[in-house]
Amino acid sequence: MSSCRFRDVIATLAMLTLLAPAAIAQSGREGAYDTPALASVDNGLYSVTLKVQAGPSGAPGGFALQWMKRADFTAAGGWPANPSDPRLSNCNFVGTPTLNLWGASSFKLAPAEVAYVQPGDLFDETGVSTTSKSSAALDPGTEYVTRVRALPGTDGTASDFAPTVPAQTLLGECTQGFWKTHPDRWPASCLPIILGTVSYTKAELLLIFDQPAKGNGLISLAHQLITAKLNLCNGSDPTPILAAIAGADALIGGLVAPTIGTGYLDPSATSGLTETLDDYNNGRVAGVAECPTMTRSASTWGALKVLYR
């Protein structure tokens, strides 16, 4: 080998040596996936919407999200080392979503692919692995902190956690989480409630509230439709939501929601209406009245129905 060619080889090796630490630093550890990016993009009363974007290596094994109240985060001096710490919520996103369909079609992300997830609104979502605590609604009017990392896959190990991102819920109106946990506040004049063409008692509606969607669009739509009708009985402005309520009732028709019946709707047929109702119930659309501090008389749903029929 000529001395000139040998010098070229040495120079190339030296350059690769200089570049190697930078390549490893991108993922934090050799063999690890690149860390996803995390951003808070929207908020409601009992949930926040986060944008997760995979790094250059993707997140082919899915991603893990953690969140906790900022007050607990401050008291703990940062993120608890124990993942089972009761102040900490954990959720692994590893499969196919059927509730929120406006991001990636799978939580196993290709390079730079984006998923949108909603801590506080995971009860009806699929493709997630979480505990009952972590699938529960967030507290309204509360500051949270969140972070994300790529999970291990077949060709790499978990990434480092992304920097902590703050998120905050709104305060004021009534969502599914409120009505589900405060059945004593339901306006008596609102009952029974009709979903589609089927009438349900309060006991039956509570059973429907307790049933996770598990990929059944009828259940997730029923959850938001019950909530919207309770909000209208509580004095909320019907103008922004009557068309969506009419569309939901028409789509449901005579189907009987589980666990009362065995009705089913494909999530692709219900997701638009479910999202519209959820936005209204979560205060993202103006018009929802404050939660009642005690049961009060309000307009009946029967009286409100004449407004759009």
- What are the per-10-residue average pLDDT scores of the chain (309 residues)? 36 35 45 94 87 96 97 96 93 93 91 95 91 85 96 92 94 75 87 97 96 94 95 89 96 97 96 92 76 43 36
Retrieve residue 54's tokens: 């995979």
What are the residues whose beta carbons fall under 8 Å from the beta carbon of 170, sequence distance 6 or more? 43, 44, 45, 140, 141, 282, 283
Retrieve residue 112's tokens: 């730079």
32 - beta bridge partners?
Answer: 157
Query: Measured between alpha carbons, how far is 228 from 174 in angstroms, rounded to an integer?
Result: 9
Residue 96: the pLDDT is: 95
Q: Are 245 and 306 in contact (CB under 8 A)?
A: no
- At position 10, the amino acid (one-letter code) is I
Q: Are 128 and 93 in contact (CB under 8 A)?
A: yes
Q: Which of 289, 297, 277, 275 is nearest to 173 (CA)?
A: 289
Length of the chain: 309
H/E stretch holding 262 reads: none
Q: Which of 126, 119, 139, 136 is nearest to 67 (CA)?
A: 119
User: Which residue ranges form the domains of the chain, and what is each CATH number?
Assistant: 37-168 (2.60.40.10), 176-305 (no CATH)
Query: Measured between alpha carbons, how far is 96 from 100 in angstroms, rounded to an integer?
Result: 10
H/E stretch holding 260 reads: none
Query: Measured between alpha carbons, how far is 284 from 41 in angstroms, rounded to an integer?
Result: 12
pTM for this model (two decimals): 0.63
Rounded to 10°, the helix 267-281/242-252 angle is 150
Residue 308: the pLDDT is: 31
Query: Measured between alpha carbons, how far is 181 from 250 in angstroms, rounded to an integer?
Result: 28
